[in-house]
Structure 1
């Protein structure tokens, strides 16, 4: 993008940031002037009041001088007529910083980050100078250089940080990209600066979140006292809205107080006061409703809140350790996926050599059904006389062997992981130092003067808070950065040995059954031509009409004998031969029906007694041609 366009967009962002802050102050004050002061309102004081509040929100101290008539009406001593108000509502500064970081990142993506940062800072400086010069009044005055410098720094610093971070992460050319490439080419130390910055950002964000959590819990626990202070102020609806908006402007300041409280040193509400987990000592507290969340006394159990900064340091250390392992080419094992990794390690290897194809197996039911059918056809073809035992071929019974459990594939342990100790130590130290510096800076911004005399100092002390935060974050970060990894973590990347699956015992091969031993179940048997029926053949019990001597061959499309025929009773002993009986006189043969003649299926037939089958049914011999078979 052209540099002129980038400069224009950066100037527009800066103007929007300043205008939004002014509008956030001017809008509620206008409501106060209209509905609160009425006709006696001095509209000339509306703009100076809004400009002073905006400057105070950007850390510019304001010198207040109360008029004499107000002192006489309220009974305030003349020694308290002049004081400095420097406790800033950090919501204004936070909004400007976030907007500036966004503007710097956008200028970096347009390949003109330096132009965008300089133009934005210049526009904020010019607008700040105009605000200071046009907001002069006798009650509230500010320094000219502070009114210009402080807002400009609050915009330029985050804008520069956002631009540099974006250049470091995304740029492929430029000064920052060349520095990054040289740093990352430094072997095992190349990834340390980026990882340390990432861990430090996580630690600072975690501290702010822990402070916000402490404020939320305090407000929830002390909600009754806060409501009581609202009621004691005798505020109308407009007053409640204005006071609530002012307290929301101080919400980031209260969050920093929460950070100092959970760190241990705490904060003060005036000279000689202290609010900390170890104890609370308060004097006269200003009647601001939100200050009702401060406990009047504390318990020794509150000392456990110092574990929160340690937990934040451990979180930052975990992030840094994970990225150190990734930079070294070692993927860390996620804690919540242990079972999945173990299951994957115990699964068979996919790329192992394919096992030999198993021999074809025949089910026992198939063999039995085929043998029954063949035996029945052989008996009917033999005219009812059983075959000798010597002619009965043995039936091969094939039983599938039970499946053996597959053995667990062998795993080889991953090589020992050697992590350099010095980079981890440096990362832990950088996280602790940056966290301490951020805590000190935030404590400096969140402290100042709230009034005369005792209220000349309110807020946390930067030094003790920085020391406590640094030590606690260092302890937490060292837990996960400096402690050696466990053996199970090192073995989490164990791989299954290729070819391990081939060591499993193979199933025994089953000999195939010869085609003449077992007849196919689904193939219809071949039926030869039916010869004339002999006189001595026993009658056949069947629903079909008797077979005549001149009957045509049975059609092949007749349905095969069903395999679910009733079981055949075994023969226990051979019956004695019956005496010969006189043959019955031969009946005259019926006329042979033609092939086209209809068949009477309801004709009466004589019953036919079938002989019983042996235990091992014989198969149909190959010489069965020319004998009849009945389906």
Structure 2
């Protein structure tokens, strides 16, 4: 495909990814504004939508409440300024996945570098436009963060999607040159990058699925508490819809919280409050309905959940080992050094991925004790690294019979001969 066409399609993809994300915030806010105030203030709607979109890409919001509002509500003036930095990762997940799709398509067209550069430049220009035009007096963002953070999500997604396809299909360029250099190494070492990446991806995908399933179960079991909090808020129909949409956008964030719970470290909910399998201590939480899913207490039996990351690591180890192709013999393909390196790399990749997710799913929800909520990245990375490494090592390092290897019994006095008598019998 011609490079100009690839550039145009990549630019269109980045515009769609950015525009759809902003539209998700603009549409309900427009309806809410008309119903509540009777007249549409386009400037206010755009500024609010821009702030929501930026928060969804991990851009911290610095909120300053006006003096009139403080006087009417009786809020302590010391709490007039605070940060909101816990992102609804639904926005970031959409941007990342859409970008990965665009990068993969550019790689299949044979011009992945052109597609990646064009898409990233256009998305960065859109983020810059949103940051400049969406500036507001009550909600302030750092300009460089408002530009860099959304662009980073798109850039990592489009680059990752492009490299994945170029690595598997070839690109007649830098990726093929790198693979050619790796192919000069003996045994199965040329397959090491793809096998390690596959193992890490399997682990993170499996753990995300397990965490999502756990969250679904908790939402069902704790449904009455969630409904009670919704009713206590006394929201009208439109308010309930807006609240529901906001909580849906936070579902990816809650999945990361569930992952931290499964791994063991749990989730901090401010000073002195934590939800973990080993014990739960809750304080006063805001009346957000979805927070009703948090349990007041936990059982020590829930510590058995840490076996799930071990199982995910074992599954990844089995999947990686089954794809080892013998080059110069099975012994070369499954050299001890290669298997140890794969085990360690899969554990490290899983730990780094979990730490990154924990960073993205942590932040501030408001002033005071809500200034720090979410999982601890270091603790989660350590737990996931150990658990996944243990599981992967069980399947990767365990000895197994090589194909074609047979056990030949050694004849002795008790072994019957072909005539039915034991060898050596008269």
Is this a same-fold pair by TM over 0.5? yes
Alpha-carbon separation, structure 1, partners of 2:314 and 2:136: 51
Query: In 2, are the aligned partners of 1:437 and 1:466 still within 8 Å (CA)?
Result: yes
Determine the structure 1 residue equivalent to 2:415. none
Determine the structure 1 residue equivalent to 2:366. 451
Alpha-carbon separation, structure 2, partners of 1:490 and 1:299: 48
User: 5+ unaligned residues in a row in structure 1: which ranges?
Assistant: 331-415, 493-502, 504-631
Determine the structure 1 residue equivalent to 2:101. 102
Q: Superposition RMSD on alpha carbons, in Å?
A: 1.9
Bigger fraction of residues in helix:
2
Determine the structure 1 residue equivalent to 2:275. 275
- Report how far residue 417 of structure 1 moved: 9.9
Alpha-carbon separation, structure 2, partners of 1:490 and 1:318: 20
* CA distances 1:407-460 after superposition (whole Å, capped 9, x unpaired): xxxxxxxxx998311111111111000000000000000000100011110101
Determine the structure 2 residue equivalent to 1:352. none
Determine the structure 2 residue equivalent to 1:513. none
- Report how far residue 37 of structure 1 moved: 2.6
Query: In 2, are the aligned partners of 1:59 and 1:150 still within 8 Å (CA)?
Result: yes
Alpha-carbon separation, structure 2, partners of 1:172 and 1:15: 26
Question: Using a 3 Å threshold, how does the CA distance of structure 1 residues 77 and 304 change in structure 2: closer, same or farther?
Answer: same
Q: Secondary structure at the match of 2:373?
A: coil
Determine the structure 1 residue equivalent to 2:410. none
* CA distances 1:68-110 after superposition (whole Å, capped 9, x unpaired): 2222232211111110110000000000000111111111111
* CA distances 1:255-309 after superposition (whole Å, capped 9, x unpaired): 0001111110011111221110000011101111001111001111111111110
Task: Say whether 1:475 aligns with 2:390.
Answer: yes
1:474-553 aligned within 5 A = 474-485=389-400, 490-491=405-406
1:396-411 aligned within 5 A = none
Alpha-carbon separation, structure 2, partners of 1:427 and 1:50: 45
TM-score (norm 2): 0.92
Determine the structure 1 residue equivalent to 2:424. none
* CA distances 1:228-266 after superposition (whole Å, capped 9, x unpaired): 001110111111110000000100000000111111001
Determine the structure 1 residue equivalent to 2:314. 314
Query: In 1, are the aligned partners of 2:326 and 2:333 still within 8 Å (CA)?
Result: no
Q: Secondary structure at the match of 1:280?
A: strand
Query: In 2, are the aligned partners of 1:36 and 1:238 still within 8 Å (CA)?
Result: no
Alpha-carbon separation, structure 2, partners of 1:84 and 1:480: 46
Larger Rg: 1
TM-score (norm 1): 0.62
Q: Secondary structure at the match of 1:187?
A: coil
Q: Secondary structure at the match of 2:262?
A: helix
* CA distances 1:384-429 after superposition (whole Å, capped 9, x unpaired): xxxxxxxxxxxxxxxxxxxxxxxxxxxxxxxx99831111111111
Determine the structure 2 residue equivalent to 1:439. 354
1:72-87 aligned within 5 A = 72-87=71-86
Alpha-carbon separation, structure 2, partners of 1:320 and 1:238: 50
Alpha-carbon separation, structure 2, partners of 1:490 and 1:477: 25
Query: In 2, are the aligned partners of 1:417 and 1:490 still within 8 Å (CA)?
Result: no
* CA distances 1:172-207 after superposition (whole Å, capped 9, x unpaired): 521101111221331211222211111111111111
Alpha-carbon separation, structure 2, partners of 1:106 and 1:487: 40
Determine the structure 2 residue equivalent to 1:413. none
* CA distances 1:120-149 after superposition (whole Å, capped 9, x unpaired): 111111111111111111111111111111
1:584-623 aligned within 5 A = none
Alpha-carbon separation, structure 2, partners of 1:312 and 1:489: 30
Query: In 1, are the aligned partners of 2:50 and 2:131 still within 8 Å (CA)?
Result: yes
Alpha-carbon separation, structure 2, partners of 1:489 and 1:307: 34
Question: Using a 3 Å threshold, how does the CA distance of structure 1 residues 327 and 79 change in structure 2: closer, same or farther?
Answer: farther
Count how many residue pairs are aligned between Structure 1 and Structure 2.
407
* CA distances 1:589-628 after superposition (whole Å, capped 9, x unpaired): xxxxxxxxxxxxxxxxxxxxxxxxxxxxxxxxxxxxxxxx
Determine the structure 2 residue equivalent to 1:186. 185
Alpha-carbon separation, structure 1, partners of 2:273 and 2:42: 40
Query: In 1, are the aligned partners of 2:110 and 2:171 still within 8 Å (CA)?
Result: no
Determine the structure 2 residue equivalent to 1:358. none
